[in-house]
Structure formats: C-alpha cells, structure tokens
Structure 1
Amino acid sequence: MSKSFVFVTGNANKLKEVKAILATGDSGIEVTNQAVDVPELQGTTQEIAKAKAATAAKIIGAPCVTEDTALCFEAMGGLPGPYIKDFLGTLGHDGLNKMLAGFGNTNAYALCTFAYCEPGSEPILFEGRTDGRIVPARGPTNFGWDPIFEPVEGNGRTYAEMDGAAKNAISHRYRALEKLRAYLAAK
C-alpha cells in the first residue's frame, strides 16, 4: 500500500505545517497537494471530514487527505467549531472575543480532523485536540485564528506568537497528523 497521498488544500500555510511535521522523524511519507473544489457541508466535524475526503478521492482518483479544523468555545457548547472560518471572516478576531464577553468563560479547544480516503473506500479519521483559551489578538495575523488562541501548553503565548517548531510540537494539527503517520507506517 502507498505511503503517499494528495493533501487536498489550496492553503499554503496548512501545506507548509503538514510538510514540516511529516519531515520530522523521517516518515518516508510523500505529500503532494491539489486544490479540489468540494462542497462546503454542514454537520459535525466528523461528518464534514468524511464527506469531503470521499468526494475528493473520487475526483482525484488517488489516496488523499482532507483536513478540517475547528475552534470550539466551551461557553458556546463547541461553537463556532467547524464554522470558524466563516465566523472569523465575518467577525474578525475582535468580534470572536466579543462573542464570549457575556459568558465569563474563555476556555476553548482547537480540533483538527484529517480524513484519509482511497478511491472507493470509506474515509478513516484521525483527530487531534489542543486545549486553551480565547484571548485578545496577539502576534502576526496572517494565519487564521492563531492570534486569539492561547494553548494551555503555550507558556502564555498564542499560536501566532510561537515559532513554527514550537507550535507544531503541541498543535491540534500535529496530534492528528501523528495518528495519520502511525496508520500509514503500519500499512
């Protein structure tokens, strides 16, 4: 079985992080990328990931991996969750902070779901989670919600304030990708 896959993304930052994480430990996993137009679905993170991966594998005709990232606010029962991209685009970093103003609870977690799918097969999910809290934006604003997420393990820094190696060592993406790496290594 193949130890290569197409990472379905047009996001250069995500591709860079995935390649950096997989480069550690000489995994022997080859990653290429391709932007594929798949429908933006609604549902749980797991439902969305499975549907996207199955659609992408059918379109590409090769093993592929999709990624869905969620930012879940404890006070809001897990919202905005998989819809964080739309919330961020509409409200911005400051607006996301204001959403929590009346709750008195800024606890949150970042959830990454990788879905691996070979054409004609059922997608397999790999999830990683990092706990933290929502804070006023600090650090560079070039990568989504990183400036407002301060992981518990971040020594008081937001994802945006960390260098790539520090973030990759504790991130939700790293934790999910490690599970995917172990699966592919065992194939």
Structure 2
Amino acid sequence: MSAVELVCASANPDKVAEIQAILGPAEVVLLPRPSTVPEVAEDAPTLEGNARLKAAAICEVTGLPAVADDTGLEVDALGGAPGVRSARYAGEQATYADNVRKLLTELLDAGALDASGRTARFRTVALVRYPDGREVAAEGVVEGVIAPSPRGDAGFGYDPVFVPVEGDGRTFAEMSGPEKHAISHRGRAFRALAARLAAGT
C-alpha cells in the first residue's frame, strides 16, 4: 500500500521532524505547510479544537488532506495547567525555556516539592481533515512527574522536566528519539492515527 500524503499544518520545525520520525515515510509522507499561509489562531478551549482549527485552515488553502496536532501538559498540582495553553504558558512569544521556568516556579509556589505532588501527563490529539469535511482523530497520553530542574539536551518544549512513569527515571530530553517516541504522547497519538488511516476509518 502506498504512503498517505498529508500537508502538515504545524509551523514548528521541531514538531514536524518528530512527527515524521514517528510515522516513517513508508506510512505517511508529510508535505510542507505552504509558506504563504499565516499562523492560525489557536483559541479553541480544547486540544482537539485547536488541532481542528489548524488542519481545517491548511486543508482549505491547499485543497489537500491536512494533519495537525495539539499537545498539552496537564499538571495535577496546578489544576491541569498549563493544558491547552502549554505552548504559550509564559506568554504569546514565550520560548521553551520561559515556559519551563514558569512551570517550575508555579510548582514551587504551590508547595509541590516531591514527586508525589508533581504528577502530570502529556496529552496529544492528532487530526486529519479532508477537503470533503471528513475527519479522523486519535489521542495519545503518557503519565509522568515533573523533575525539580531541567535535565538533558534532546527533545523540545517541556521534555527536559518530564519524567515518564514508564521510563527508567530519565526525562524525555535525556532519551534518544526512538526511546522517547516508543512511549510518548505524540508517538501514541500518531501511531493510532496512522492505524486508523490505514484501516480507512
């Protein structure tokens, strides 16, 4: 069976590279987002809603099937924050380091000092939108805890402070790409999405 071609709605090169690494070119070929397409306002109240906004916008412009995802880090001690605001937690122009710094500060302010009080999960929703309006979506979740300080140089976003429960104590940023993708939220979401696409659902 030939690979499915999808226009990738993300403008984040780290995320695009990770998605392609997870899927592999044999299953899904990601076509680049047209450079002329402006940023899509991610103002939906849910991860699925934001993924839908992005995929629908790219699909409408290109006339081709488009794939988008949205990811949130849900920290229990912070009432599920940053959640849908994860990428913009420290402000609209926040860097990865800005967001991590704010997260660690908020946890200290909340009195969450040991691992039992720093439980969290990453959640990703991946969604494909077709020109005829059909959609296929899948979700991936991984449980973990927030480390007291960043560790590791790989990955991006909150990876340096997220320690997955199913791992060996390392943060995502201390793992190789394949190690991370095997258990990550994004890996699970996109493998589930690829399986649904292959099954024609």
Q: TM-score, normalised by structure 1?
A: 0.89
For residue 129 of structure 1, give the secondary structure of its aligned residue in structure 2.
strand
Contact 1:147 1:161 in 2 (8 A): yes
Amino acid of the structure 2 residue aligned with 1:110: F
CA RMSD across the alignment: 2.1
Any residues of structure 2 matched to 1:52-91 within 5 Å, and which? 52-88=54-90, 89=94, 91=98
Amino acid of the structure 1 residue aligned with 2:167: G
Aligned sequence identity (%): 36
Moved more, 111-120 or 26-35: 26-35
Give the Cα separation in 2 of the matches to 1:60 and 1:27: 23
Q: Partner residue of 1:93? A: 100
The offset of 1:141, in angstroms, is: 6.9
Where in structure 1 do 4 or more consecutive aligned residues deviate above 6 Å? none
Give the Cα separation in 1 of the matches to 2:101 and 2:13: 25
Q: Partner residue of 1:45? A: 47
| Structure 2 residue 132 is matched with structure 1 residue 120 | yes
Number of residue pairs the alignment of both structures matches: 185
**Alpha-carbon distance change, 53 to 12 in structure 1, aligned in 2, over 3 angstroms:** same
What are structure 1's unaligned runs of at least 5 residues?
Answer: none
Give the Cα separation in 2 of the matches to 1:157 and 1:12: 24
Moved more, 129-138 or 26-35: 26-35
Question: Which deviations, in whole Å up to 9, do the C-alpha atoms of 1:137-186 show, x marking residues without a partner?
Answer: 11127611110111111210111010111001111001000111111111
Q: TM-score, normalised by structure 2?
A: 0.83
Contact 2:140 2:185 in 1 (8 A): yes
What are structure 2's unaligned runs of at least 5 residues?
Answer: none
Contact 1:53 1:123 in 2 (8 A): no
Question: Which deviations, in whole Å up to 9, do the C-alpha atoms of 1:83-108 show, x marking residues without a partner?
Answer: 11111527442321121122432111
Amino acid of the structure 1 residue aligned with 2:181: N
Q: Partner residue of 1:3? A: 4
